[in-house]
Amino acid sequence: MHRSDVLIIGAGPTGLVLALWLSRLGIAVRIVDKTSAPGTTSRALAVQARTLELYRQLDLSDSVVQKGHCVEAANFWVKGEPVARLPLTHIGEGLTPYAFLEIFPQDEHERLLIKRLESFGITVERDTELEAFEETVDGINATLRLPDGQQETCQACYLAGCDGARSVVRKVLDTGFPGGTYQQIFYVADVQASGPTFNGELHVDLDEADFLAVFPLAGSGHARLIGTVRDERAERAETLRFEDVSSRAIEHLKVQIEQVNWFSTYRVHHRVADHFRTGRAFLLGDAAHVHSPAGGQGMNTGIGDAINLAWKLAAVLSGGAEAKLLDTYETERIAFARKLVATTDRVFSFVTAEGPMADLLRTRLAPLLIPKMASFERSREFLFRTVSQITLNYRGMPLSTGVAGQVHGGDRLPWAHDGEGDNFEPLKCPNWQVHVYGDTSDEMIAWCIEHHLPLHVFDWRPAFETAGLGRNGFYLLRPDTYVAIAETCSDPKVIERYFRDHGIRPFIG
């Protein structure tokens, strides 16, 4: 019988990243997908800064940036004319190595992940569908339908449901998926075209109640149109053609269509599963949460789920932690998912709201407020921090403790960069590590050496104070680069006690 450490159902970005991280950490994975080939169309476009930061651990960030497209500005249109421009090139400058909006379509993204996964000797098993599974004393027994129609029973220590909004894993677990469905029909069109909106920047039409945006892609004259319809056309979504929706883009955004490469329609839900974990089975990505595409958060959140779970599964499977560590996956990720669904729902509801007041806000007030917002560094920084997911934190949760400087346990480690170096460089290695900014004790140095815990001591510099880091204390960092302990002292017993209380033995494996 085929046996693996982790059986992954679904080979979208979430499942592929989970497989990659686990493989990177020496865990035996098997990944299956019911489709016969990777997707050739996609709705997800944005790769947020936090995802790019984490991709450094797999040496993927540079490839994504090189293959994708950096968007220099967002433009807002009313009545066929541009009325406001929000520069994006340096919107997050000083906060992250990736202080920009990166566009890299999901289909190309998946191909990159598949190629990298193959370098670990792992191939996605296509035309293979999960039919059922059950938990046993020491693992999972799963029944798969193979490409030839035959059934196979396989075993795994854990099962990860990365199989989308219609997740079979979620249905087998009988986990609730409360929420609702937006009344609008969304459409996506991949086009070759020309006109003022094909200048490599993002363009959004604020007119009327329906949403419409032009997202630039790599290559001249190549873009993705994303829009909604809510009138009688929404009643016949299955037969909707590009010709039925193209007039608005042509008239309002002056798009001159040359070729439509593909066109598709879909409905969007806003839901969060009641649980992200049941026993040895986990839900990730769209299987766990779906929401409006506002802000380009969906794919990035699924990737965040995968990275959060990967290091915890690897620790438990390698003997580096007790199984109770896995309880923290749901605690940390479900809170963020619920907040995200509520936020994107409010943003999308504002953008698509109907009525005279809504039209006034979008067409009159928004064009006045956007340039003012863009002129203030704090408002630009707030917008970037929110959308880029660098403010996502696990404060107040079981694995997070302490405060040092402005940094709390559970925060993403702030990026500090100057001519003398980059404090993110050691984070490329996905392990537990200690950072000290300033001086530390001989006891801390000796303890870290004895326990083979990497210790990085940075001479104090103004850049660290600017980033909000505390001087002469220490930060214990998790393998996913979030702060576990933020402490003002230099006592290694604090770390020893933390690992003991949480059943973690990071020195194994």
Cβ neighbours of 65 (radius 10 Å): 18
Tens digit of pLDDT for each residue in 436-483? Answer: 999 999 999 999 999 999 999 999 999 999 999 999 999 999 999 999
**pLDDT confidence of 266, banded at 50, 70, 90?**
confident
Tens digit of pLDDT for each residue in 158-174? Answer: 999 999 999 999 999 99
Structure pTM?
A: 0.94
Cα(129)–Cα(134) distance, integer angstroms: 15
Cα(145)–Cα(132) distance, integer angstroms: 10
Nearest to 49 by CA among 390, 334, 315: 390
Let me know: does 308 contact 358? Beta carbons within 8 Å. Answer: no
Cβ neighbours of 447 (radius 10 Å): 18
Backbone torsions φ then ψ of 137, nearest 5 degrees: -60, -40
Q: Hey, what amino acid is at 221? A: G
Sheet of 289-290: strand order equals 81-87, 73-78, 202-205, 212-216, 222-229, 179-194, 256-272, 289-290
3-state SS of 195-234 is CCCCCCCEEEECCCCCCEEEEECCCCCEEEEEEEECCHHH
> What pLDDT shows up at residue 234?
73
The chain-wide mean pLDDT, for the chain, equals: 91
DSSP 481: S
Integer angstrom CA distances of residue 379 from 89, 245, 373, 374, 385: 15, 34, 6, 7, 10
